Amino acid sequence: MGNAESELSRSPVVHPHSHENAQIGGVINSMTKEVFLNKIDRSLADLAQSIWLKYTSGDILNPKEYDALLCDLTKRSDKLLYLVNLFDTNEFSHNDVRVLVSWLSFGHEFGENFRKAIFKPVLSLQTPVQKENVYSRLRTTFSDYAEDLARIVLVSLTTGEPVSTAFEAPSDFTDLLNLDVLRILGLFLSSPYKRPNPTRLGNIAPLEVEQLTHMHCLFNSKMHGFSITRIKELAFDYDGPIILLIKADNFLFCIASDQGLKDTFKPYGAENSCLLQILPETARLVSGSSSKKTDFGAQNGIIYSNFTLKTSRRGLLVGHQPLVSPAIEIDEGFTTLQFASGHPMKLTAAEIWAAGPTSQLDKLTAQKAWELEQVIKAKNRKIKPDEDWRESVDRQLLDMAGVRVRRSDMVEGFKPKEDI
């Protein structure tokens, strides 16, 4: 997890003495509750109300309270703990859990299946439940989203313009890579898959979900069919990071490879590669590691894909030891998937997305254009006529060896001219 570019600041530079409707002559005035709530997007109304109640019990937020709020949003290192502590209780009720889940969904609920998958660690808790248990269940996965949520509130307050949380997937996104999947991938993936894309937060680091909107589809089974030949043709020449989404039965998996896809007899995929299960329950199944070594001292990857070499195992396998105990295995025809050595499941959809910079996609486009040009040249290549053959150096050499060859001898009804 984390932003694509470490040099980009996570929080904007705050100038608390420059807010419209909050100060006159460099001195912060008190802010009414109505003004405060109107600064934050309506989808986060519950969050705005809870923040207000944390700093004041009345209808006016004085300058000292407002400065304390901005300071907490800027300097608190653990924004998830900050959000959890907005609940004035040590025990969470079922409704408290529901409200917190709504905040971490940015006020826009996931689809039911995805909501159950990603929030199962807290939705499965028996309530009432201790606040610490709720925090510990969410800390590993949702810390970055809590950070994003705090930045949305901070930018909204400091600019006076509500930052919209109505995220939309780009128009070229598909059935598998929908907005819910994009939001889940934003929780688990980091560089090199994320990019510093345009953001609604101005000149600071983009939100986690915004850092994946640059991806380009290389292969879509709905358009291209389940053909390993087609997959290799469209995706195997891309040498940047890729995201492979695979659906079988009620399972949806994501294979993230920092080294693309390739035919090889050695595992690949370093520390930034991983295998995620998105549905029916979201979990990181396999993580790559640059520190793992094989018995021969070489780095050991988590991905093995061989669809050409007949002397080695064929198919696509992913696991900490993919050739020994793969977590998932796709057959060489790219038609079935086995999960945890279970029964084979028929693949129903697959998509491969390029997640690298534009330069890598341009390189692939140039390569494909060159290949097409060579095919066209081969089709249009003219065969030299027989009279050119008579002047050919090859024919002269054959004649010197006593071999008489006429390329037109096999043409029915053709009578060659007598050699002089």
Tokens of 96: 């408290």
Residue type, 211: Q
pLDDT at res. 84? 95
Interval 157-177: pLDDT, tens: 988 889 988 887 766 778 899
123 CB burial (10 A radius; 0-12, 13-18, 19+) = middle
Which token pair is 91? Answer: 């025990």
Question: Tokens in use for 236?
Answer: 């195997």
Query: Which residues partner with 24 through β-bridges?
Result: 27
With vertex at residue 368, the alpha carbon angle to CA 365 and CA 372, rounded to the nearest 5 degrees, is 135
Strand ranges, E, within 237-365: 242-248, 251-257, 274-279, 283-287, 303-306, 315-318, 328-330, 336-339, 345-354
Q: Give Cβ neighbours of residue 384 (< 8 Å, ≥ 6 apart).
A: 392
- Closest Cα partner for 22 from 150, 14, 164? 14
**Torsion angles phi and psi, residue 143, rounded to 5:** -60, -40
From residue 58, give the alpha-carbon distance in Å to each of 157, 295, 336, 347: 19, 67, 62, 58
Closest C-alpha to 276, from 134, 146, 176, 172:
176
Query: What span, in angstroms and rounded, lies between the C-alpha atoms of 313 and 320?
Result: 17
CA 267, CA 304: separation in Å to the nearest integer?
4
pLDDT at 4: 43
Query: Is the distance from CB of 276 to CB of 327 less than 8 angstroms?
Result: no
Q: Is the dihedral of CA 301, 233, 347, 109 positive or negative?
A: positive
The 10s digit of each residue's pLDDT in 344-398 is 999 999 999 999 888 777 787 777 777 777 777 777 766 555 556 666 777 777 7
Residue 124 class from Cβ within 10 Å (0-12 exposed, 13-18 middle, 19+ buried)?
Answer: exposed
Q: For 299, which DSSP code?
A: B
β-sheet bridge partners, residue 251: 248
With H, G, I as helix, E, B as strand and everything else as coil, classify residue 301. Answer: coil
Q: At what angle do helices 94-104 and 131-159 cross, to 10 degrees?
A: 40
User: Which residues have a Cβ under 8 Å from the Cβ of 158 and sit 6 or more positions away?
Assistant: 12, 14, 15, 16, 19, 70
CA 204, chain centre distance (Å) = 21
Residue ranges of the chain with pLDDT lower than 50? 2-27, 291-298, 410-411, 414, 420
**Which DSSP helix (H) or strand (E) runs through 103?**
helix 94-104
Provide the angle, in degrees to the nearest 10, between the axes of the packed helices 63-75 and 131-159: 110
Environment class of residue 274 by beta-carbon count within 10 Å: exposed (0-12), middle (13-18) or buried (19+)? buried
Which helix (DSSP H) or strand (DSSP E) does residue 28 occupy?
A: strand 27-28
User: What 8-state DSSP symbol labels residue 93?
Assistant: -
Neighbours of 56 (CB within 10 A): 18
In one-letter notation, the amino acid at residue 277 is: Q
Apex 23 CA angle, 22 and 25, nearest 5: 170
Helix (H) or strand (E) holding 216: strand 216-220
Is 82 within 8 Å of 146 (Cβ atoms)? yes
Please tell me the predicted confidence (pLDDT) of residue 204.
Answer: 78
φ, ψ at 180 (rounded to 5°): -65, -45
